[in-house]
Structures are given as structure tokens and as C-alpha cells.
Amino acid sequence: MQQPAFAYVRHGQTPFFRLPTRDVGVDAEAYRGIQAVLLGVPYDGGCTHHPGARFAPYHVRRVSATTQSFHPSHRIDVFQALRCVDGGNAALPPFAPAMAREILQQEIGAITSARARPFVVGGDHSITLPVLRALAEAHGPLAVLHIDAHLDTSTGELWGDAFHHGTPFRHAIEEGLLARDALVQVGIRAPWGTPEEDALVKGYGGRILSPFELQDPRTLARELRGHFGGRPLYVSIDVDGIDPSFAPGTGTPVPCGLTPREVTSLLRGLAGCRLVGMDVVEVCPALDHADLTSLLAAHLIFEGLALAALAGE
């Protein structure tokens, strides 16, 4: 007999997607044989506006519990095809950002050492930098699909610290973590402080698309698939890339965002790419309603896992 849909009830606990749990921190051995590790990062110490994303992993886990495992579009049973575990949360010191980055990089390092892929649920967007560092160390410079309302290439000038949730992609470029030509930013639309805000990404061969410029996500996906080729691909989704009506629970919402169908079509069109990791960040449960944003985050992670499942190994 099939496993009852309400089996998750038994535990009382709510690991991501009712997956087995593994609680390892920086011990790669514990992940041996695992292909994907879901990791919560309850940290919002890099937030410049409305904090609260530190609570996202708890809520995304809870609402993910009822997700079934067969993906009707890719026609693959994600959790049969891919050995996944819930690796728990990275326990980052809340008032020591540099140490937090260090610890997270090591935890991601443990995952890549086990040849598994990290699927990270943030936390604010500042957590993406240490993830990129660990992945670039393992795979070399990365191609990145970045969904966001903001470029996230600010300097630290405005906030007194060069490492906050508006800066990860500046550092990633400056540190050589990203492959030239291979940063694609979709959903960008918030007003800028200066006319040159896109200079860094443009100068690095990157591509910036507002929701108004996105015609057909399937066409874009086809282009990107060709463009990315066999390069290691990281997907970073700030939920504010999506319109606030679909994702009200976020700290810096901007009207006129992408729709979940657009983002999902884009992701599905990347089947065949070499996905090495993914994050969904900036879910702020205190501002959410009826778990809309947490549900959307769980959905997006599931779409990423499906891509990994299709790629196999």
C-alpha cells in the first residue's frame, strides 16, 4: 500500500517535503550518497529594510509537507529520482556577519565535498555570497540565473558595511566567482540611486531583464540553455523578483514583478542545464498572508529539485 498522504502527521516534525533528516554541519561524510541537501539559513543580519526572513525556513518546511513527489510536467518522481535529505539549518551567529559567512561557506563546502547539491532556503540575500564562494571553489566560475527586483550589486557606502543583502553579486563578480557573460538577472525593476547601477553587470557581460522586457519565458529559457551550455549553473531567487501580490511576505516588495507562472516556465525550460545549487531567499513570514509566500518558495525549490532529478547523478 502507498504511503498515506497524512504520514507527515506522525512525526509532528516537518522536514522539507517530509524528507529524511540529516544534521551534519560541516561533516561531509554524513552526506555520502546524497544528491541534494535542503538547508535552511535562518539569518537576516544583512537586511537593510524589513527584517524577519530568519523565520522563513520554519514556515517553508511546514507548508512543504503536503507536496506530492511526482512532477506532472517533467513526468518524473523527484524524490525517487534524486536522493535528498533535509540537512537542518545552518546555525549562524546573529550579530557576527563575517563569522556567519564563514560558517555557511563551510557548511556548503561539506555538501559539495559529498558531491551533493545545496538547495538553500534563506534568510536574506546576503547569504548567497558564501554559498557562491563554496560552489565556485568546487566547480569553478558559475553561471547564474538571478531572479530579483533589485540588481544586488550595491556598494557598502550607504549602509556602512560592504556585505549586506544588496551586495552579493557585486562581491561575486569582484571575487571572480561568476563566469564572464553568464550572469542573467530577470525581474529587475526597482528604481535606482544612480544611472550607472547596471554598469558592473553589463561590463561583465551580464544580462538584465525587467518584467516588461520578458516576452516569453520559454523562449528565454531556450536561449539561456544554449548560452549556459555545460557550465555549472546556480539559480538564486529573491522572492521579491515575483510580484508582491503573489509574494507579499518579503521585506522590500516592488510592484510590477514577475508571475509565478513566468518564473516556473523559465525554470522548467532549463531542463538539461547543469544545476549545481539553488537558493530561495527573502521570504518574510511576518508579512505573509495565508502562507502564500512560503508556499511559493516551497514550489520553487521543488522545481529546482526536479531539474536536478532530471539531470541525474
Which residues in the 146-165 window bind its own copies by CB under 8 A? 157-161, 164
Task: Tell me how far, at minimum, the Cβ of 222 lies from its own copies, in Å.
Answer: 15
Choose one: 135-143, 192-200, 230-238, 272-280; the region binding its own copies (CB under 8 A). Answer: 192-200
- Restricting to residues 261-280, name those near its own copies by CB under 8 A: 261, 264-265, 268
Q: Should residue 27 be labelled a site residue for its own copies when binding is judged by CB under 8 A? A: no
The CB density around residue 51, as the number of other CB atoms within 10 Å, is: 16
Separation of alpha carbons 162 and 11, rounded Å: 42
Separation of alpha carbons 94 and 109, rounded Å: 21
- CA proximity to 67, closest of 118, 15, 122, 123: 15
Nearer to its own copies by Cβ, of 232 and 260: the residue is 260
Distances (CA, A) of 64 to 12, 72, 150: 14, 17, 27
- Per-residue burial over 187-198, b = 16 or more CB atoms within 10 Å of its CB, e = otherwise: bbbbeeeeeebb
Q: Should residue 230 be labelled a site residue for its own copies when binding is judged by CB under 8 A? A: no
Q: Should residue 290 be labelled a site residue for its own copies when binding is judged by CB under 8 A? A: yes
Choose one: 130-138, 140-148, 169-177, 239-247; the region binding its own copies (CB under 8 A). Answer: 239-247
- Restricting to residues 87-126, name those near its own copies by CB under 8 A: 87-89, 91-97, 99
DSSP state of 261: H
Task: Tell me how far, at minimum, the Cβ of 177 lies from its own copies, in Å.
Answer: 22
Nearer to its own copies by Cβ, of 166 and 232: the residue is 166
Q: Should residue 215 be labelled a site residue for its own copies when binding is judged by CB under 8 A? A: no
Cell numbers for 243: 510580484
- Cβ distance 292 to 131 under 8 Å? no
Q: Which of 148, 152, 197, 279 binds its own copies (CB under 8 A)?
A: 197
Nearer to its own copies by Cβ, of 134 and 149: the residue is 149
Task: Tell me how far, at minimum, the Cβ of 2 lies from its own copies, in Å.
Answer: 6
Backbone Cα Rg of the chain? 18
- Restricting to residues 66-85, name those near its own copies by CB under 8 A: 66-73, 75, 77-78
For 36, the enclosing helix (H) or strand (E) is: strand 36-40
